[in-house]
Amino acid sequence: MSDFKSEFLRELSWRGFIKDTTHKAELDAYCAQGTPVAYVGYDATADSLHVGHLMTIMMLRIFQRHGGKPIALMGGGTTKVGDPTDKEKSRPLLTDEQINANIAGIKTAFEPFLRFGDGANDAIMVNNNDWLGELGYLEMLRAIGVYFTINTMVKQDTVRRRLEAEQPYTFLEFNYLLMQSYDFLELYRRYGCRMQLGGSDQWGNIVGGVDLVHKAEGGEAFGVTAHLVTTSSGVKMGKTVGGAVWLNADRKSPYEYWQFWRNTEDADVGKFLRLFTDLGREEIERLEALEGAQINDAKIALANAATTLLHGAAAAAEAEAAAKAVFAGGASADALPTAIVPQAELEAGMLVAAACTAAGLSKSNGEARRLIEQGAIRVNDELVSDSNAKVSMADMQGGAIKLSAGKKRHALVKAG
């Protein structure tokens, strides 16, 4: 049992989030009284967040549920520099237009998880470009440069690894720690925010902000980091053969999102139920105890709970029904990911390999041919053995051709 007194930290603890904290006793006391304020920062490097960001989003969700006020900080300013943490080379620099477009896309990811508004513990979203973009260089150096030593900064893991590998570490990136720390100071001043949450890779940046608040304002601030999640097979959370598992529906359909969770490795089901759903402890422990074929029931519960959080109960139910139709070998379901190809190509006959690539089941025609040769590709549930096989309008069933790669990946091809 956790030795925390605050309900927020107790729940984080039993669910398995917490990797490190600063000032544990004082942090616990802060979380246990009044309306504590905490933030997480998200740089706008893409137009959607992905499953790898869910750890901190769920931390904010739990924080709000226990009476805290969450701040989702958009990195409109820090994205102009690029977070070098755990990166072996510099990120490409984005334009202001790209950053603003990415922020617009990212905002939609938070709405299912947090309650925004003007209430005492309603979430707010702010953009650090509002203050970083207004700072003059000399002003920045005089305001916070005095509180940071090069001695400490070069000891950060990212800096040390780059230097040891003789990889460039630009002066632009070297400033990232100062900028993120300044975010904490600014949020402390503007909103009384005294806590930053983040992944364990952000520990150095978080400690920098905690120290800056103390040195510049004499204030008490705290940090909490979560474990970086990998699957039991060692794959980074949210990474698949098809790329990142995006949260925005236009990047990853509710059905594909449901399937991602349904395909969780057996050893990870309990962990993911704790981290990525709202299910209670008793129900999670019941599902964790399932063995053998019944583990599939726990996987379906995980997929339904996670998909409901992001896309709603109706989308989760539709995805489950679609999956049952697919695995039962029945008719193609409308919720499957769908590729539209020119009708003329289908009328002339389209290579199954090309259709698989168009539908996202393979990265290239060559990869699709290898899957065919391995006996992994089916068309309308019929095994394809010829790597030069074609599909045509004659293969349409209910207005679509169903393609399958292995037992778990399915898509439709329709004529457009």
Catalytic residues: 45, 50, 53, 87, 91, 180, 201, 236, 239-240
Q: Which of 161, 189, 224 is nearest to 23 (CA)?
A: 224
Adjacent-strand bridge partners of 303: none
How big is the chain, counted in residues?
416
CA atoms within 13 A on the CB side of 293: 0
The DSSP code for 63 is H
Cα–Cα dist 330/327, whole Å: 8
Backbone angles phi, psi at 169, to 5 degrees: -130, 100
Backbone angles phi, psi at 154, to 5 degrees: -75, -10
Residue the block writes with tokens 């992905």 = 50
Going from the C-alpha of 351 to that of each of 368, 382, 393, 397, 414, the distances in angstroms are 10, 15, 12, 18, 14
Q: Are 195 and 36 in contact (CB under 8 A)?
A: yes
Rounded to the nearest 5 percent, the helix, strand and coil shares of the chain are 50, 15, 35
* 232-236 contacts at long range (C-beta below 8 A, 24 or more positions apart): 232/265, 232/267, 232/268, 233/265, 236/52
Q: Which of 246, 208, 206 is nearest to 225 (CA)?
A: 206
